[in-house]
Amino acid sequence: MKKKLATILLLLLVSLSGYSQMSWKVKAGVNISDITNWELADYKPGYQFGVGMDYYFNDHWGIQPSIMLISKGYKSKGDNFNSFYSAQYSNQELKSFDLTDNKVYVELPLLLTYRFDVSSKFKLILSGGGYVSYGIAGKYKRTDTHLDGTTRKVNEDSFTKGVEKFDTGLAAGATLEYKEKYSIGLSGDFGLKSTQSTFKNRTYGLSFGYRF
């Protein structure tokens, strides 16, 4: 049975290699990110760049693994904390707050792609799949203003106090490619794992790419 299975897999690999296409791509761009499950969170601008491989089994279907450096997080400001923060700072008589949480991740997306011709020079590529990522750096900054007019500044590592560095979720995107070399694409990451309390990462990006 094992020999038959190995033979089938070998024949499958040989048949796929007969019409497969592999290429490398570099990409860089900007993004906006926030977190779910907190009504006071706003989008924060960020960046993303990396390198990926496109492996097509035929003219339409393929896979795209990548390695990316991507910033995520959120910002928020308001007159008072919601219950998540007031439980920690209720004795400080806060009047207002202003915070930014900027995290940097190494991210590994794996996407299933489908491409088709829009014209003789343009191709549209639709993609969907998942990602795993690991936080390598981050800065959390907050300014609290008290009722008496005094302020308190907090500046610390984002991955402290039980904040999880590992993240995983769904990823999707659409890319317009010109002459199979230059591309512009939209992407979205939707976290499935709570990295802090019930917060989950959410990111939308715009990237420009070049295929080798």
- Tens digits of per-residue pLDDT, 175-200? 999 998 999 999 999 999 999 889 99
String of DSSP letters for 19-68: T-EEEEEEEEEEEEEEEES-TT-B-EEEEEEEEEEEEESSSSEEEEEEEE
Residues 186 and 205: beta-carbon distance below 8 Å? yes
The CA distance from 164 to 35, in Å, is 14
- pLDDT value of residue 175: 97
Measure the N-to-C terminal CA separation of the chain; round to a whole number of Å: 41
Average pLDDT, the chain: 87
Architecture of domain 21-211: Beta Barrel (2.40)
For the stretch 112-164, pLDDT in tens is 999 999 999 999 999 999 999 999 999 999 888 877 778 888 899 999 877 89
For the entire predicted model, the pTM comes to 0.83
pLDDT at 51 over 90: yes
- The first and second tokens of residue 25, run together, are 């791509």
Which residues are CB-contacts of 77 (< 8 A; sequence separation ≥ 6)? 42, 96, 97, 98, 99
- CA of 50: how far to CAs of 121, 171, 207, 209, in Å? 25, 15, 10, 10
